[in-house]
Amino acid sequence: MGTETQGKIIIRRGEARDAQAIYRIGTLCFTDAWREETVAHDLAQPLSRYWVAEVNHQVAAFACFWFVVDELQLVNIGVEPAMRRMGIAERLLRIGMEEAKKCGLTHMSLEVRIGNLPAQHLYKKYGLEIASLRKGAYEHPAEDGYIMTRTL
């Protein structure tokens, strides 16, 4: 998928040049954010697909998906705190799912902290259901995670 524009928000495929911005947003959103080197390495992997949202020519959000065999795995969605509640995460999720369907993927999965209710609400809106509980999935702070799945 190329570029999608809605007002001043531009959604495009993530590129190597976005690693630093993705890392920065990750540190704002996650206590266990990937290092910049990890982001750069993952961006270069053939199974990884990133989309970024630009606001005023600055990356303000990202989504990382892995396309593995027939399954779409949502790895991370991060939105700068000041840019939340504008539908950006939803647009990024939708684009990843649409691309996966075009590529013939048939299933989707993700892991989410049990305390991340806003994310769970978004995922449920798009048909994901809790399939299992993963005890001790997260550190910093320690928390269990839900595995959520759906058919594409």
The candidate with the shortest Cα–Cα distance to 49, out of 10, 75, 24, 85, is 75
CA of 112: how far to CAs of 43, 69, 127, in Å? 21, 22, 15
pLDDT at 5: 45
pLDDT at 80: 97
Q: 79 is written with which tokens?
A: 């939105």
DSSP secondary structure, 39-94, as one string: HHHHHTSTTEEEEEEEETTEEEEEEEEEEETTEEEEEEEEE-GGGTTSSHHHHHHH
Is this structure's pTM higher than 0.95? no
pLDDT at 92: 98
pLDDT at 3: 53
Q: How would you write the pLDDT of the chain (152 residues) with one tens digit per residue? A: 455 544 589 999 999 999 999 999 999 999 999 999 999 999 999 999 999 999 989 999 999 999 999 999 999 999 999 999 999 999 999 999 999 999 999 999 999 999 999 999 999 999 999 999 999 999 989 999 999 999 99
pLDDT at 8: 86
